[in-house]
């Protein structure tokens, strides 16, 4: 692929990611976007469950498999290395957009907080969660994480070196602030429907599985540094670990 072609491809992939990320906020929060987690005509219960689980499963499998080092080693024999990350991000984002489009609402209510202060607190936590996600990506390397840095370096004729392991900002308190932000954003809602609960439960399960795989890879890449980090900093709950 030409340098300018890779650069344009990276920009397009990043733009699609940004659209899917911003849409996710409206989708889970039930505002701004035309199709939300609770909007649309309800379908038969079993059909809705099957479709929703297939959509979640497709994203989870792609997002996990394509992130593994073994897959990347094989995949970069087919896809040029400078656009490997952008391709991963693009496919993930397209699967998310498919999920938003085809998601079947399950409108029965699990809880509905009528107390104004309680609803405001949950709404505030919702926004805090999503802000934590975005902020945490910039604390490491936002543009490398989403593939844009790789294509820019290729366009400029420079080689890409992965970001070094570092502990900055929120990463001093938890090892996975991005995942913590997602968990808060998915669960903090004044009105929880069955469909939203299904989404929250399944994504929570996937987050814990994803953390296990990610930490396994990080221990291989940074054996001494990451093991020391794991002993000092908790994974998700920001309470200091007891010194051994």
- Torsion 155-158-160-164 (CA) sign: negative
Query: Alpha-carbon distance 43 to 46, whole Å?
Result: 9
Query: Alpha-carbon distance 135 to 151, whole Å?
Result: 22
At 207, which helix (H) or strand (E)?
Answer: helix 194-221
Minimum mean pLDDT among 75-89, 104-118, 229-243: which range? 229-243
The predicted pLDDT at position 244 comes to 45
How many contiguous H segments (helices) and E segments (strands) does the chain have?
A: 10, 2
The predicted pLDDT at position 162 comes to 80
The predicted pLDDT at position 167 comes to 84
pLDDT tens per residue across span 144-156 = 999 999 999 999 9
Burial class (CB in 10 A: 0-12, 13-18, 19+), 78: exposed
Average pLDDT value for residue range 190-214: 95
Residues 6+ apart with CB under 8 A from 37: 27, 28, 30, 103, 105, 193, 195, 196, 199
The predicted pLDDT at position 241 comes to 63
Q: 118 is written with which tokens?
A: 């309680």
pLDDT above 60 (res 174): yes
Buried b (16+ CB within 10 A) or exposed e, 135-153: ebbebbeeebbbbbbbbbb
Q: pLDDT class for 160, splitting at 50, 70, 90?
A: confident
Say which DSSP state 114 is in: -
**Backbone phi, then psi, for 43, in 5-degree steps?**
-110, 180
Burial class (CB in 10 A: 0-12, 13-18, 19+), 116: exposed
Average pLDDT value for residue range 86-103: 97
Query: Alpha-carbon distance 179 to 209, whole Å?
Result: 11
pLDDT above 70 (res 243): no
The predicted pLDDT at position 13 comes to 97
pLDDT tens per residue across span 210-232 = 999 889 888 888 888 888 888 89
**Backbone phi, then psi, for 3, in 5-degree steps?**
-65, -45
């Amino acid at each position: 692929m030409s340098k300018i072609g890779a650069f344009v491809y990276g920009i397009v992939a990043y733009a699609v990611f940004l659209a899917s990320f911003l849409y996710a906020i409206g989708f889970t929060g039930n505002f701004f976007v035309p199709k939300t987690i609770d909007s649309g005509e309800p379908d038969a219960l079993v059909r809705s469950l099957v479709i929703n689980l297939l959509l979640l499963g497709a994203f989870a499998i792609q997002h996990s498999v394509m992130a593994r080092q073994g897959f990347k080693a094989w995949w970069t024999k087919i896809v040029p290395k400078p656009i490997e990350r952008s391709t991963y991000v693009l496919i993930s984002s397209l699967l998310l957009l498919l999920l938003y489009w085809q998601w079947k609402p399950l409108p029965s209510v699990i809880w509905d907080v009528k107390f104004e202060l309680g609803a405001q607190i949950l709404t505030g936590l919702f926004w805090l969660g999503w802000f934590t996600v975005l902020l945490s990506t910039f604390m490491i390397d936002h543009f490398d994480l989403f593939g844009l840095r790789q294509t820019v370096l290729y366009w400029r004729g420079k080689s890409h070196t992965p970001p070094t392991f570092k502990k900055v900002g929120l990463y001093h308190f938890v090892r996975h602030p991005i995942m913590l932000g997602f968990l808060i954003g998915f669960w903090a809602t004044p009105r929880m429907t069955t469909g939203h609960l299904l989404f929250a439960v399944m994504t929570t399960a996937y987050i814990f599985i994803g953390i296990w795989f990610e930490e396994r890879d990080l221990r291989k890449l940074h054996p001494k540094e990451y093991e020391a980090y794991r002993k000092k900093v908790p994974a998700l709950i920001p309470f200091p670990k007891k010194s051994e």
